[in-house]
Amino acid sequence: MATNGDWPYPLWIAHRGAGKLAPENTLAAFRVGASHGYRAFECDVKLSADGVPFLLHDASLQRTTPERGTAGARSWAELSRLDAGGWHSRAFAGEPIPSLEAIAAYVLRNGFALNIEIKPTPGQEPETGRVVAREAVRLWAASRHAPVAPPLLSSFRPEALQGARETAPELPRALLLDTLWSGWFDIARALKVRACVTNYAVMDEALIAQLHGAGLRALVYTVNDPAEAQRLLELGIDGIITDAVDRFSPGESLRD
């Protein structure tokens, strides 16, 4: 796996698997991303009503399944039976919502890297961070396959990252930022994150210098425009999360 210096993650990361070419946050999406050469993936993880970590971006079910209502209010037995692929196209009808355990088995067996975005149901931030971190430690430690990079745990919610830090301080963490809100840098340092992952529109040379100066890595989401990708590569970005797995080669880097 090609990595970026002492940072054990590839530069290019497939967003929600390959969440435009296939139904996001499903094993099918991961397989499509892998078929385009990607070896690092991002996904969203929240908890079922009975505490099982599973993949879903939204708090509600209606965008990506035939059901409605809060996903986290359903048991894993209910969630695991839902069609999470038919909304995308008929080719993926019947694709299930995967558990974190299923995704971990896939990435570990193939030697891929994983960025787990902790995406709590509102009100469950600390608990989601704790459970996701605990399960990540268990799943990666139990793997009998060749060692891979530990999962990178990221979140927009500092409370979730704090829960993860309390449970598994050894796992690397990243603070997600849509904007540079007041106090973000102090929070990032207090949480002892390894990286900040920002909306690509706010990442510039000064911000990369600030992060690198503090010993942090600078990553961005979700870059689908070649001109933006080139700008960021020239600035020395450490990671690019993209939907455009069919347009960007994961070996592409202007710094090589």
Count CB atoms within 10 A of the CB of residue 42: 26
Please tell me what DSSP assigns to residue 7. Answer: B
57 is catalytic: yes
- Among residues 21, 42, 29, 5, the alpha carbon closest in space to that of 240 is found at 42
Is residue 15 part of the annotated active site? The answer reads: yes
Give, to the nearest 10 degrees, the angle between helix 100-110 and helix 27-35.
20
- The two beta strands, 12-14 and 53-55, are unpaired
Is residue 55 left, alpha or beta, with left meaning phi > 0 and alpha meaning psi from -120 to 50? Answer: beta
**Options 36, 57, 88, 212, the catalytic residue:** 57
Torsion over CA: 80, 85, 87, 90 (sign): negative
Residues marked active site are found at: 15, 57
